[in-house]
A and B are shown apart, each in its own frame.
Chain A
Amino acid sequence: MFSKRLLAASLEPLMLSLLADGPKYGYQIIQRARHLSNDQIHWSNSKLYPLLHSLENEGLVEAFWQPSESGPDRKYYRLTSKGHEALAATKKEWRSMYALFAELWGPEIAFG
């Protein structure tokens, strides 16, 4: 389990990154995150949706409803161009951070 602070800091970058490769709905996003992180990521779902709406307010993502066969409509989110820009900026930040740690920890940084 990641510490709360780390989760909080990484929430937005993760969200943007998860949407980078195509539109998704909320449950899908969570499943993907959990799968990719080997179940390390545990967002309370009640935080997820407000965050998505907040990103929508800021214009980084846009939402649209899509009908489904298995039940009621689902609300999908996809990155806007502004969102892509923000993602690029975030990537730059984290790369710098990573480079710093690599410098500090040396080859150790690659071990899990």
Chain B
Amino acid sequence: MFDLDKALAAWRHQFKYSHTVNAQDLDEVERHLRDQVVDLIAAGETPEEAFRQAVAEMGSMVEAEGEYGKVYWEKVRREGTLMRELGVRGALLLNYVKLAYRNMLRSKAASVINISGLAIAVGCTLVVYIFLDRALTMDRFHPDGERIFLVENVIERNGHRQTWGDAPHPLGPAMAADFPQIEQFTRVEQSRATMQAGGKVFIESAQFADPAFLEMFNFPLQYGQAAALHEENSVILCHKLAFKYFGEDNPVGETVVLTFGDHREAFTVRGVAAPFPQRASFDFNMLLSYEKLYDLGYDDPDDWSAFTTATFIKLHSADDLPLIAGSMDKYLDLNHAATEDWPIAAFVFDDLYSLAIHSEHVRGDISGGPSMAGFILLILIAVFLLSLACFNYMNIAIATAQRRLKEVGVRKVMGSNRTQLAFQFLCENVLLCLLALGLGVVLAATLFLPGFNMLFAEGDFLLEFDIGSTGRSWIFLIGLLMLIGVASGAYPAFYISRFQPIAIFRSVPTSGSKRWFTRTFLTFQFVLTFITMIAGVLFYQNATYQEQQEWGYNKEHLVVMQTREAGQYGILEQKVRQMPNVLEVAGTAHQPGRGEGYAVIEMQGEKKEACRFEVGHGFFEALGIRLQAGRFFDPQRNADAATIAMINETFARSQGWDAESALGHSFRYDSTDYSIIGVLADFHYEDFTDAIEPALFLLADDADLRYLSARVQPGTEAETIAAFDTLWKQTFPDLPGDISVQSDVFAYFYRDNRNVARLFGGIALMALLISCMGLFGLASQNVARRMKEISIRKVLGASMLQVSVLVNRGFFIMLTLAAGIALPLAYVLLNALLADVYADYAPLDVASFGIACCLIFGTALLTVTTQIRRVVQTNPAEVLRNE
């Protein structure tokens, strides 16, 4: 029987908690409805129909609330009660927060899982952010950087264009003279010198710069005057260098002795630079006047074929650049006239702030910057971990929703509308995310950032935790909070609020579609976990593989001493041969792994590039490099010493010869014709990231020998090093020594490989952790939901094992599926990645896949086992009694 009053009361309930529609308004509208119903009944409608029509005509209440709201705020503004209103709203918000907090405490396990998972992901994201922020905002501390440009040049080589960061010596002054648009220019030349000061002597890098350098670039001095650089033989030290030689004292006025090649001169310290900011992509070690470079006899200021490290120009306005760029032809002509080898094809310009970012594409440039591929990888990692954690949250929230449906039902009956409910759940979510964010910040500062620095920081590139110090980092934090809050909370909030109260109280809705949704999430999480775990195992295997790679010669028990100048080798060699543990001695100008020379040769009418080694007699034999055809250099046959050469396998192959047929061919280098007398088996003189390139070997003049390699008795390396050290100090007390073992020469490479393996291992572990948290959440929900079924099965006599397997079977099917999807993806991706980085690598094989699977399945099993214990411990009678 239709009861108008009841119907109206129900209608009113919609607005019970509305903030904009008050009781009086409701009274008014209710009266309106009553009047309309009366009229409709008079017109012939049934009461029920009349009510329905009247309510329908009332229009959308959502809109109405909006309109009421507008009027309400108008009133508030007029009457000046804004503050009081906000106070009321604030109290309401606080209420939501209190509720959210209480709810979180109630489901502790779920909250812990969510918070920790999100925190880990947030921590990683923050580290990535710090890294990227640093890399993308390099050099901003120099003012007017938009007007400062580095002059670069483009060269055609072997068919492709290369961009180089250097420029001809005369270019800077010539451009400054020709273009009034150029306000200032400066050149920088990198060099090395032996520095003697404060009782210490070391080899240091040194920079020559034009006077405008310190004006164009923001490197303030802690002591001394920048202008003093003009003075005769003056030098400005960087902070680190000053500390190294002079400690805390102010060294201005002190004398240092610098030796450049053969020139040994005294210089006066005129200034010390303040410590350089972290965001400098280039700086200086010690600064000398550019004029001094010519003074020392290096280079010819008018030689257009000689290049200086960097040439910077500062324009009055950046708009003038196109004009200048278009007028560079005359300099190209000057360069072409001066050299035939690799003439410059074009000059290009790059502005200061972009230098670091573009650095990976520019060769030999003064700036340094990481590669873009690294950036992208890091961003992907952060996004990946965040998604995992958010998926987790969604999964758990939806599963928890089942438990909270009763609460939802009660609230709805009591009058909450859907928006309020959704808002409340969103509030809980934001609170949780706030906690996660806080924890994530702590994790990043105390754990992840130091870890990252340990793995990857080189020298000065340590990352600092500067979140919170810049405006944009706050924006990033807030944005991150919004993102994870909304991304993880939006769906569950609206899903939960959608349920109808009556349906909730009548039965427990376990909509199958929602379970499919959450299981898909979990599958996706595990796919990602499998991929990263396979990657971790693979990189670890690869690191081992690289370490086991043959170098092509016998690298063990080889102690190497480096000399500086002509003649030193001869003196040392005699003494070294007399040492008891030394079996063989050989010298070379170029030591494998320590840099080689380079040659442009002409062969059969064509130009060709090759690596060039100049070696002493007996070098190959001493190192154990094998001969494929022909003969080694023979000290007995000196007549043709100046016109013979050896080549490596790769060289022969690149010309289409086999080892034997290569003999007798000749090539022209540096105005001399050389005849090939032998072919060497390939050996690695660079690390394993690049394939071996064609190389030629010439006999070195004795004066050019720089490296002494001594094959020693196994086990006596340490003694020998000590003996060499003593020998050096006795023979050349004023010069720094450089003694090492040959097998260390690729130590950096192996270390980097290990670090990459560790990084991926770390990521995989975190992914596994987060995924297993998700698995734990779902598994426990699963058991809770199926308690009744489990108990019945127990009563009917099923064993614990059978029941456990049955209940958790779904998860293992899901894991297998994830593994199946991950494997081909991992195979393709990782093989491509490895092929790109290494010339030779260990490909993905069954073993790595197997190990990854074992780790993941094992951990998953462990996770699920906790639930199995629950199953074992429940008393079926109790459960069934309560149902």
Contacts and interface: CB of A to CB of B under 8 A. Distances in A.
Given A45-B57, A50-B71, A53-B71, A27 B35 contact: yes
Contact of B67 (A26, A50, A57, A70): A50
A112 B74 CA distance: 40
B75 A49 contact: no
Interface in A30-86: 31, 44-47, 49-50, 53-54, 57, 70-75
A82 to B, nearest CB: 14
A45 B74 contact: no
A46 B64 contact: yes
Given A27-B36, A50-B70, A72-B34, A45 B59 contact: yes
A50 B64 contact: yes
A70 B71 contact: no
Contact of B30 (A25, A44, A72): A72
Interface in B75-121: 75, 78
Contacts of A31: 39
A57 B71 CA distance: 8
B31 A71 contact: yes
Nearest to A44: B59
B28 A46 contact: no
A26 B71 CA distance: 17
B31 A73 contact: yes
Contact of B57 (A44, A50, A57, A72): A44
B27 interface: yes
Interface string B55-76: 0011111011001101100110
Contacts of B75: 53, 57
Contacts of A44: 57-60, 63
Contacts of B25: 49, 53
Q: Which of B25, B63, B68, B71 has the most CB of A within 10 A?
A: B71
Nearest to B57: A45
B28 A26 contact: yes
A26 B24 CA distance: 14
A31 B43 CA distance: 14
Q: Which of A27, A54, A70, A72 has the most CB of B within 10 A?
A: A27
Interface residues of A, number: 19
Contacts of B59: 44-47
Contact of B28 (A54, A57, A71, A75): A75
Nearest 8 pairs between A and B by C-beta? A44-B59, A46-B64, A50-B67, A46-B59, A27-B35, A27-B32, A75-B28, A53-B71
Q: Which of A27, A50, A53, A72 has the most CB of B within 10 A?
A: A50
A8 to B, nearest CB: 13
Contacts of B70: 50, 54
Given A45-B32, A72-B30, A54 B58 contact: no
Contacts of B35: 27
B42 interface: no
Contact of A74 (B31, B38, B58): B31
Contacts of B71: 50, 53-54, 57
Interface of A: 25-27, 31, 44-47, 49-50, 53-54, 57, 70-75
B274 interface: no
A2 to B, nearest CB: 17
A27 B38 CA distance: 12
Contacts of B855: none
A49 B24 CA distance: 12
Nearest to B29: A49
B63 A72 contact: no
Contacts of A73: 27, 31
A42 to B, nearest CB: 9
B32 A50 contact: no
B32 A26 contact: yes
A55 B28 CA distance: 16
A49 B36 CA distance: 15
Nearest to A29: B32
A67 to B, nearest CB: 11
A87 to B, nearest CB: 21
Contacts of A45: 29, 32, 57-59
A25 B64 CA distance: 18
B34 A46 contact: no
Given A46-B64, A54-B74, A25 B31 contact: yes
16 contacts: A25-B31, A26-B28, A26-B32, A27-B36, A44-B58, A45-B32, A46-B58, A46-B59, A46-B61, A49-B28, A50-B64, A50-B67, A53-B25, A72-B30, A72-B31, A74-B28
B25 to A, nearest CB: 7
Interface in B12-60: 24-25, 27-32, 34-36, 38-39, 57-60
Q: Which of B35, B36, B58, B75 has the most CB of A within 10 A?
A: B35
Contacts of B24: 75
Contacts of B78: 57
Given A25-B31, A50-B67, 14 more contacts: A27-B31, A44-B63, A46-B67, A47-B67, A49-B28, A49-B29, A49-B32, A57-B71, A57-B78, A72-B27, A72-B34, A73-B31, A75-B24, A75-B31
A1 B298 CA distance: 94
A32 to B, nearest CB: 13
Contacts of A71: 31, 34
A31 B28 CA distance: 16
Nearest to A45: B58
Nearest to B35: A27
A73 B64 CA distance: 22
A35 B727 CA distance: 118
Contacts of A47: 59, 64, 67
Q: Which of A25, A53, A72 has the most CB of B within 10 A?
A: A53
Contacts of B68: 49-50, 53
B711 to A, nearest CB: 97
Contacts of A72: 27, 30-31, 34
Contacts of A46: 58-61, 63-64, 67
A52 B68 CA distance: 10
A40 to B, nearest CB: 16
Contacts of A26: 28-29, 32
Q: Which of B31, B57, B63 has the most CB of A within 10 A?
A: B31
Contacts of B67: 46-47, 50
B74 A57 contact: yes
Nearest to A75: B28
A79 B24 CA distance: 20
B72 to A, nearest CB: 8
